[in-house]
Amino acid sequence: MRARIRKLRAELAARELEAYVAIQNARYLSGTSAVTATIISEQEPILICKRLEFDRARRESAFRDIRAYFPYEVPLRRGERVKFCELWQVLADCLRELGARRIGFDGMSSEFLRKLRGAYEADYQELPELVVNMRKIKSKQEIAWLRRSAALAMEGMQRAAELIEEGRSELEVAAEVEYIMRKQGSGGTPFSTIVASGRNSWLPHATATRKRFRRGELIIVDLGATYEGYASDMTKTFSIGPTRRQLKLMNAAKRAQSAAIDRIRDGVSAADVDRAARKVVCRAGLEKFFSHGTGHGLGLAIHEPPNLVPGSSDLLQRGMVVTVEPGVYAPGVGGARWEDIVLVTKDGHELLTQ
Ligand SMILES: [Mn+2]
Protein backbone atom coordinates (compact mmCIF):
# COMPACT_ATOMS: atom_id res chain seq x y z
CA MET A 1 0.00 0.00 0.00
CA ARG A 2 2.86 2.33 0.89
CA ALA A 3 4.48 1.65 -2.51
CA ARG A 4 1.23 2.57 -4.27
CA ILE A 5 0.99 5.89 -2.46
CA ARG A 6 4.64 6.60 -3.22
CA LYS A 7 4.13 5.88 -6.94
CA LEU A 8 1.01 8.00 -7.10
CA ARG A 9 2.77 10.90 -5.36
CA ALA A 10 5.54 10.74 -7.98
CA GLU A 11 2.87 10.90 -10.73
CA LEU A 12 1.26 13.89 -9.02
CA ALA A 13 4.58 15.70 -8.71
CA ALA A 14 5.37 15.07 -12.38
CA ARG A 15 2.05 16.70 -13.33
CA GLU A 16 2.26 19.47 -10.75
CA LEU A 17 -0.90 18.23 -9.08
CA GLU A 18 -1.31 18.91 -5.37
CA ALA A 19 -3.91 16.26 -4.57
CA TYR A 20 -5.65 13.26 -6.07
CA VAL A 21 -9.19 12.21 -5.22
CA ALA A 22 -9.79 8.50 -5.82
CA ILE A 23 -13.29 7.06 -5.70
CA GLN A 24 -13.16 4.10 -8.14
CA ASN A 25 -9.66 3.23 -6.95
CA ALA A 26 -10.15 4.08 -3.28
CA ARG A 27 -10.03 0.44 -2.19
CA TYR A 28 -6.85 -0.23 -4.15
CA LEU A 29 -5.13 2.73 -2.50
CA SER A 30 -6.43 2.28 1.05
CA GLY A 31 -6.61 -1.50 1.42
CA THR A 32 -10.22 -1.67 2.55
CA SER A 33 -13.61 -1.95 0.90
CA ALA A 34 -15.02 0.15 3.76
CA VAL A 35 -13.72 3.25 1.98
CA THR A 36 -15.75 5.74 -0.07
CA ALA A 37 -12.91 8.00 -1.23
CA THR A 38 -9.25 8.69 -0.57
CA ILE A 39 -7.27 11.88 -0.99
CA ILE A 40 -3.57 11.49 -1.70
CA SER A 41 -1.27 14.49 -1.42
CA GLU A 42 2.17 15.24 0.00
CA GLN A 43 0.51 15.27 3.42
CA GLU A 44 -0.95 12.35 5.37
CA PRO A 45 -3.28 10.34 3.06
CA ILE A 46 -6.96 10.76 3.95
CA LEU A 47 -9.54 7.98 3.98
CA ILE A 48 -13.17 9.05 3.77
CA CYS A 49 -15.89 6.58 4.67
CA LYS A 50 -19.50 6.46 5.74
CA ARG A 51 -20.11 6.51 9.48
CA LEU A 52 -21.11 2.84 9.58
CA GLU A 53 -17.82 1.80 7.97
CA PHE A 54 -15.54 3.75 10.30
CA ASP A 55 -14.59 0.88 12.64
CA ARG A 56 -13.90 -1.49 9.75
CA ALA A 57 -11.86 1.13 7.89
CA ARG A 58 -9.75 1.67 11.00
CA ARG A 59 -9.21 -2.07 11.39
CA GLU A 60 -8.42 -2.85 7.75
CA SER A 61 -6.56 0.17 6.43
CA ALA A 62 -3.10 1.45 7.28
CA PHE A 63 -4.35 5.03 6.72
CA ARG A 64 -4.33 6.97 9.98
CA ASP A 65 -6.39 9.97 8.92
CA ILE A 66 -9.92 8.59 8.65
CA ARG A 67 -12.93 10.90 8.25
CA ALA A 68 -16.46 9.65 8.66
CA TYR A 69 -19.51 11.29 7.14
CA PHE A 70 -23.19 10.52 7.08
CA PRO A 71 -25.92 12.13 4.98
CA TYR A 72 -28.33 12.77 7.86
CA GLU A 73 -28.09 13.60 11.54
CA VAL A 74 -28.27 10.73 14.01
CA PRO A 75 -27.18 10.35 17.67
CA LEU A 76 -23.52 9.39 17.99
CA ARG A 77 -21.60 7.12 20.36
CA ARG A 78 -19.32 8.82 22.84
CA GLY A 79 -16.09 9.98 21.16
CA GLU A 80 -17.47 9.48 17.64
CA ARG A 81 -16.69 12.23 15.15
CA VAL A 82 -18.90 12.37 12.10
CA LYS A 83 -19.69 15.13 9.59
CA PHE A 84 -23.34 15.13 8.70
CA CYS A 85 -23.17 15.99 5.02
CA GLU A 86 -22.76 14.58 1.52
CA LEU A 87 -19.53 13.13 0.13
CA TRP A 88 -18.77 16.15 -2.04
CA GLN A 89 -18.94 18.38 1.03
CA VAL A 90 -16.38 16.27 2.95
CA LEU A 91 -14.13 16.25 -0.10
CA ALA A 92 -14.40 20.03 -0.42
CA ASP A 93 -13.53 20.49 3.28
CA CYS A 94 -10.48 18.19 3.02
CA LEU A 95 -9.21 19.82 -0.18
CA ARG A 96 -9.59 23.26 1.38
CA GLU A 97 -7.68 22.09 4.43
CA LEU A 98 -4.88 20.84 2.14
CA GLY A 99 -4.93 24.11 0.21
CA ALA A 100 -4.83 22.11 -3.05
CA ARG A 101 -5.28 24.17 -6.24
CA ARG A 102 -4.59 21.56 -8.93
CA ILE A 103 -6.44 18.34 -8.26
CA GLY A 104 -6.57 15.05 -10.15
CA PHE A 105 -9.43 12.57 -9.81
CA ASP A 106 -10.35 9.16 -11.16
CA GLY A 107 -13.99 9.57 -12.11
CA MET A 108 -17.02 11.49 -10.88
CA SER A 109 -20.34 12.20 -12.56
CA SER A 110 -20.55 15.71 -14.02
CA GLU A 111 -23.29 16.47 -11.49
CA PHE A 112 -21.03 15.44 -8.59
CA LEU A 113 -18.10 17.43 -9.97
CA ARG A 114 -20.33 20.50 -10.37
CA LYS A 115 -21.31 20.29 -6.68
CA LEU A 116 -17.71 19.73 -5.57
CA ARG A 117 -16.51 22.68 -7.64
CA GLY A 118 -19.31 24.81 -6.21
CA ALA A 119 -18.15 24.02 -2.67
CA TYR A 120 -14.43 24.32 -3.40
CA GLU A 121 -13.21 26.01 -6.56
CA ALA A 122 -10.01 24.56 -8.02
CA ASP A 123 -8.51 23.15 -11.22
CA TYR A 124 -9.93 19.60 -11.39
CA GLN A 125 -8.48 17.13 -13.91
CA GLU A 126 -9.94 13.74 -14.71
CA LEU A 127 -6.93 11.38 -14.73
CA PRO A 128 -8.10 7.82 -14.01
CA GLU A 129 -5.06 6.41 -15.86
CA LEU A 130 -2.73 7.48 -13.04
CA VAL A 131 -4.02 4.63 -10.88
CA VAL A 132 -5.43 2.37 -13.60
CA ASN A 133 -1.94 2.02 -15.11
CA MET A 134 -0.48 1.12 -11.71
CA ARG A 135 -3.18 -1.49 -11.18
CA LYS A 136 -2.23 -3.35 -14.36
CA ILE A 137 1.03 -4.55 -12.82
CA LYS A 138 0.44 -6.78 -9.82
CA SER A 139 2.67 -6.84 -6.74
CA LYS A 140 3.97 -10.09 -5.25
CA GLN A 141 1.20 -9.95 -2.68
CA GLU A 142 -1.49 -9.39 -5.28
CA ILE A 143 -0.15 -12.30 -7.35
CA ALA A 144 -0.23 -14.54 -4.28
CA TRP A 145 -3.88 -13.60 -3.66
CA LEU A 146 -4.80 -14.08 -7.33
CA ARG A 147 -3.14 -17.49 -7.17
CA ARG A 148 -5.28 -18.48 -4.19
CA SER A 149 -8.37 -17.14 -5.90
CA ALA A 150 -7.52 -19.13 -9.05
CA ALA A 151 -7.01 -22.29 -6.99
CA LEU A 152 -10.50 -21.83 -5.52
CA ALA A 153 -11.95 -21.49 -9.02
CA MET A 154 -10.22 -24.72 -10.02
CA GLU A 155 -11.85 -26.51 -7.08
CA GLY A 156 -15.21 -25.21 -8.25
CA MET A 157 -14.54 -26.34 -11.80
CA GLN A 158 -13.55 -29.78 -10.64
CA ARG A 159 -16.85 -30.05 -8.80
CA ALA A 160 -18.69 -28.95 -11.94
CA ALA A 161 -16.95 -31.66 -13.97
CA GLU A 162 -18.17 -34.29 -11.48
CA LEU A 163 -21.75 -33.08 -11.77
CA ILE A 164 -22.26 -32.77 -15.52
CA GLU A 165 -24.76 -35.45 -16.48
CA GLU A 166 -28.08 -35.74 -18.23
CA GLY A 167 -31.02 -34.54 -16.13
CA ARG A 168 -29.07 -32.29 -13.77
CA SER A 169 -30.07 -28.61 -13.83
CA GLU A 170 -27.90 -25.58 -14.50
CA LEU A 171 -28.82 -24.09 -11.12
CA GLU A 172 -27.92 -27.28 -9.25
CA VAL A 173 -24.41 -27.18 -10.71
CA ALA A 174 -24.06 -23.44 -10.08
CA ALA A 175 -25.14 -23.89 -6.44
CA GLU A 176 -22.77 -26.79 -5.84
CA VAL A 177 -19.71 -25.05 -7.28
CA GLU A 178 -20.43 -21.86 -5.37
CA TYR A 179 -20.88 -23.88 -2.18
CA ILE A 180 -17.56 -25.69 -2.50
CA MET A 181 -15.62 -22.52 -3.36
CA ARG A 182 -17.18 -20.70 -0.42
CA LYS A 183 -16.38 -23.54 1.94
CA GLN A 184 -12.77 -23.58 0.78
CA GLY A 185 -12.37 -19.87 1.53
CA SER A 186 -13.85 -17.81 -1.28
CA GLY A 187 -15.06 -14.37 -0.23
CA GLY A 188 -17.90 -14.74 -2.72
CA THR A 189 -18.36 -14.94 -6.45
CA PRO A 190 -17.20 -11.88 -8.43
CA PHE A 191 -20.06 -12.50 -10.90
CA SER A 192 -23.05 -14.75 -11.02
CA THR A 193 -21.84 -18.27 -11.94
CA ILE A 194 -22.67 -19.19 -15.52
CA VAL A 195 -23.91 -22.68 -16.29
CA ALA A 196 -25.34 -22.45 -19.79
CA SER A 197 -26.52 -25.55 -21.57
CA GLY A 198 -28.01 -26.20 -24.98
CA ARG A 199 -29.84 -23.15 -26.28
CA ASN A 200 -28.40 -21.07 -23.42
CA SER A 201 -24.82 -21.97 -24.38
CA TRP A 202 -24.78 -19.63 -27.38
CA LEU A 203 -25.65 -16.64 -25.21
CA PRO A 204 -22.21 -15.50 -23.93
CA HIS A 205 -23.76 -13.88 -20.84
CA ALA A 206 -26.38 -16.43 -19.89
CA THR A 207 -26.40 -17.15 -16.12
CA ALA A 208 -27.95 -20.35 -14.77
CA THR A 209 -31.57 -21.41 -15.02
CA ARG A 210 -33.79 -24.32 -13.99
CA LYS A 211 -33.09 -25.90 -17.37
CA ARG A 212 -31.86 -29.51 -17.22
CA PHE A 213 -29.03 -30.94 -19.33
CA ARG A 214 -29.92 -33.18 -22.24
CA ARG A 215 -27.97 -35.33 -24.67
CA GLY A 216 -26.52 -33.49 -27.64
CA GLU A 217 -25.88 -30.28 -25.71
CA LEU A 218 -22.84 -28.17 -25.03
CA ILE A 219 -22.57 -26.79 -21.49
CA ILE A 220 -20.48 -23.72 -20.67
CA VAL A 221 -19.42 -23.32 -17.04
CA ASP A 222 -17.88 -19.90 -16.26
CA LEU A 223 -17.12 -19.31 -12.60
CA GLY A 224 -14.96 -17.31 -10.25
CA ALA A 225 -14.03 -16.89 -6.61
CA THR A 226 -12.53 -14.02 -4.63
CA TYR A 227 -9.66 -14.09 -2.19
CA GLU A 228 -8.78 -10.94 -0.22
CA GLY A 229 -10.98 -9.19 -2.77
CA TYR A 230 -9.04 -10.52 -5.76
CA ALA A 231 -11.17 -12.15 -8.42
CA SER A 232 -10.67 -15.30 -10.45
CA ASP A 233 -12.44 -16.17 -13.67
CA MET A 234 -12.36 -19.54 -15.41
CA THR A 235 -14.44 -21.24 -18.10
CA LYS A 236 -14.74 -24.75 -19.47
CA THR A 237 -17.09 -26.27 -21.99
CA PHE A 238 -18.58 -29.70 -21.38
CA SER A 239 -20.63 -31.83 -23.70
CA ILE A 240 -23.04 -34.73 -23.44
CA GLY A 241 -22.98 -36.82 -26.63
CA PRO A 242 -21.83 -33.94 -28.85
CA THR A 243 -22.47 -33.77 -32.59
CA ARG A 244 -19.66 -33.29 -35.12
CA ARG A 245 -20.50 -29.59 -35.51
CA GLN A 246 -20.40 -29.11 -31.73
CA LEU A 247 -17.03 -30.84 -31.53
CA LYS A 248 -15.76 -28.50 -34.22
CA LEU A 249 -16.82 -25.47 -32.15
CA MET A 250 -15.19 -26.83 -28.99
CA ASN A 251 -12.02 -27.60 -30.86
CA ALA A 252 -11.77 -24.20 -32.49
CA ALA A 253 -12.27 -22.36 -29.19
CA LYS A 254 -9.71 -24.57 -27.47
CA ARG A 255 -7.10 -24.17 -30.21
CA ALA A 256 -7.71 -20.41 -30.36
CA GLN A 257 -7.08 -20.23 -26.64
CA SER A 258 -3.81 -22.20 -26.87
CA ALA A 259 -2.59 -20.04 -29.76
CA ALA A 260 -3.31 -16.87 -27.75
CA ILE A 261 -1.70 -18.17 -24.55
CA ASP A 262 1.40 -19.22 -26.51
CA ARG A 263 1.90 -15.61 -27.61
CA ILE A 264 1.92 -14.22 -24.08
CA ARG A 265 5.19 -12.84 -22.80
CA ASP A 266 6.68 -9.59 -21.57
CA GLY A 267 6.64 -6.98 -24.35
CA VAL A 268 3.99 -8.55 -26.63
CA SER A 269 1.06 -6.34 -27.54
CA ALA A 270 -2.38 -7.24 -26.21
CA ALA A 271 -3.75 -6.81 -29.74
CA ASP A 272 -1.28 -9.47 -30.97
CA VAL A 273 -2.58 -11.99 -28.46
CA ASP A 274 -6.13 -11.26 -29.58
CA ARG A 275 -5.08 -11.62 -33.22
CA ALA A 276 -3.56 -15.05 -32.56
CA ALA A 277 -6.88 -16.32 -31.21
CA ARG A 278 -8.88 -14.70 -34.01
CA LYS A 279 -6.65 -16.27 -36.67
CA VAL A 280 -7.43 -19.78 -35.46
CA VAL A 281 -11.18 -19.11 -35.30
CA CYS A 282 -11.01 -17.54 -38.76
CA ARG A 283 -9.22 -20.56 -40.27
CA ALA A 284 -12.00 -22.75 -38.91
CA GLY A 285 -14.46 -20.49 -40.73
CA LEU A 286 -16.11 -19.47 -37.46
CA GLU A 287 -15.03 -15.82 -37.13
CA LYS A 288 -18.59 -14.51 -37.28
CA PHE A 289 -19.36 -16.55 -34.15
CA PHE A 290 -16.51 -15.00 -32.09
CA SER A 291 -18.44 -12.12 -30.60
CA HIS A 292 -16.21 -10.71 -27.86
CA GLY A 293 -12.61 -9.89 -26.99
CA THR A 294 -10.00 -12.53 -26.24
CA GLY A 295 -9.45 -11.61 -22.62
CA HIS A 296 -9.10 -9.03 -19.89
CA GLY A 297 -7.00 -8.12 -16.92
CA LEU A 298 -8.27 -9.02 -13.49
CA GLY A 299 -7.54 -8.01 -9.93
CA LEU A 300 -9.80 -6.31 -7.42
CA ALA A 301 -12.20 -5.94 -10.36
CA ILE A 302 -13.28 -8.86 -12.50
CA HIS A 303 -12.66 -6.81 -15.64
CA GLU A 304 -9.82 -4.33 -15.62
CA PRO A 305 -7.18 -3.21 -18.10
CA PRO A 306 -5.32 -4.46 -20.07
CA ASN A 307 -7.96 -5.73 -22.48
CA LEU A 308 -6.91 -8.32 -25.04
CA VAL A 309 -8.95 -6.90 -27.91
CA PRO A 310 -8.36 -5.69 -31.47
CA GLY A 311 -6.85 -2.22 -31.53
CA SER A 312 -5.60 -2.32 -27.95
CA SER A 313 -2.49 -0.20 -27.45
CA ASP A 314 -1.45 -2.07 -24.31
CA LEU A 315 1.83 -3.96 -24.18
CA LEU A 316 1.84 -6.95 -21.88
CA GLN A 317 4.38 -6.59 -19.11
CA ARG A 318 5.66 -8.96 -16.50
CA GLY A 319 3.41 -8.89 -13.45
CA MET A 320 0.20 -8.43 -15.44
CA VAL A 321 -2.51 -11.02 -14.89
CA VAL A 322 -5.01 -11.59 -17.70
CA THR A 323 -7.66 -14.07 -18.74
CA VAL A 324 -7.62 -15.68 -22.17
CA GLU A 325 -11.12 -16.68 -23.21
CA PRO A 326 -11.95 -16.88 -26.88
CA GLY A 327 -15.41 -18.27 -27.55
CA VAL A 328 -17.60 -19.23 -30.48
CA TYR A 329 -21.38 -19.10 -30.31
CA ALA A 330 -23.35 -20.70 -33.13
CA PRO A 331 -27.11 -20.30 -32.69
CA GLY A 332 -28.84 -23.63 -33.11
CA VAL A 333 -25.63 -25.58 -32.53
CA GLY A 334 -24.01 -24.44 -29.30
CA GLY A 335 -21.47 -22.21 -27.67
CA ALA A 336 -17.93 -23.06 -26.60
CA ARG A 337 -15.41 -21.09 -24.56
CA TRP A 338 -12.29 -21.85 -22.61
CA GLU A 339 -10.89 -19.37 -20.15
CA ASP A 340 -7.77 -19.51 -18.05
CA ILE A 341 -5.87 -16.98 -15.97
CA VAL A 342 -2.36 -16.19 -17.13
CA LEU A 343 0.44 -14.38 -15.33
CA VAL A 344 2.87 -12.58 -17.65
CA THR A 345 6.45 -13.38 -16.67
CA LYS A 346 9.83 -12.15 -17.86
CA ASP A 347 10.37 -15.02 -20.28
CA GLY A 348 6.83 -16.06 -21.05
CA HIS A 349 3.86 -16.81 -18.89
CA GLU A 350 2.50 -18.98 -16.14
CA LEU A 351 -1.01 -20.40 -16.02
CA LEU A 352 -2.75 -19.76 -12.70
CA THR A 353 -5.62 -22.07 -13.67
CA GLN A 354 -5.37 -25.28 -15.61
MN1 LIG B 1 -13.68 -13.51 -18.13
Beta pairing, strands 82-84 & 65-70: parallel
Per-residue model confidence as pLDDT tens digits over 37-96: 999 999 999 999 999 999 999 999 999 999 999 999 999 999 999 999 999 999 999 999
305 Cβ partners below 8 Å, 6+ apart? 132, 133, 135, 136, 296, 297, 314
Q: Is the pLDDT of residue 354 over 90?
A: no
Q: Is 332 left (phi over 0), alpha (psi -120 to 50) or beta?
A: left
Q: What is the pTM of this model?
A: 0.95
Q: How far is the CA of 297 from the centre of ligand 1 (A)?
A: 9
Distance 154 CA to ligand 1 centre (A): 14
| 280-299 b/e (C-beta count within 10 Å ≥ 16 → b) | bbeebebeebbeebbbbbbb
Cα separation of the two ends of the chain:
30
* Average pLDDT of span 225-242: 98
The per-residue pLDDT for 204 is 87
Cα pseudo-dihedral 345, 347, 353, 354, rounded to 10: 180
Q: Cis ω on the peptide bond leading into residue 306 (within 30° of 0)?
A: yes
Closest CA to 301 of 131, 158, 155, 159: 131
pLDDT in tens, 194-220: 999 999 999 988 999 999 999 999 999
Please check the confidence at residue 300 and state whether its pLDDT lies above 90. yes
Measured in Å, residue 209 CA sits from the centre of ligand 1 at 20
CA of 157 to the centre of ligand 1 (A): 14
Q: What is the mean pLDDT of the chain?
A: 97
- Output the CA angle 100-104-109, nearest 5 degrees: 115
**Fold annotation for 140-351:** Creatine Amidinohydrolase (3.90.230)
Report which secondary-structure segment, H or E, holds 68. Answer: strand 65-70
Alpha-carbon gap, residue 331 to 286, rounded angstroms: 12
Distance between Cα 184 and ligand 1 center (Å): 21
Ligand 1 centroid–CA 205 distance in Å is 10
Domain ranges in the chain with CATH number 3.90.230.10: 140-351
Q: Where in the chain is the domain with CATH 3.40.350.10?
A: 2-135
Provide the percentage of residues in the chain whose pLDDT is more than 90: 98
Question: Ligand 1 centre from 234 Cα, in Å?
Answer: 7
Measured in angstroms, how far is the CA atom of residue 298 from the centroid of ligand 1? 8
2-135 belongs to CATH 3.40.50.720: no
Closest residue by Cα to residue 8 from 141, 123, 127, 96: 127
- Whether the pLDDT of residue 1 is over 90: the answer is no
Return the higher-pLDDT residue of 83 and 1. 83
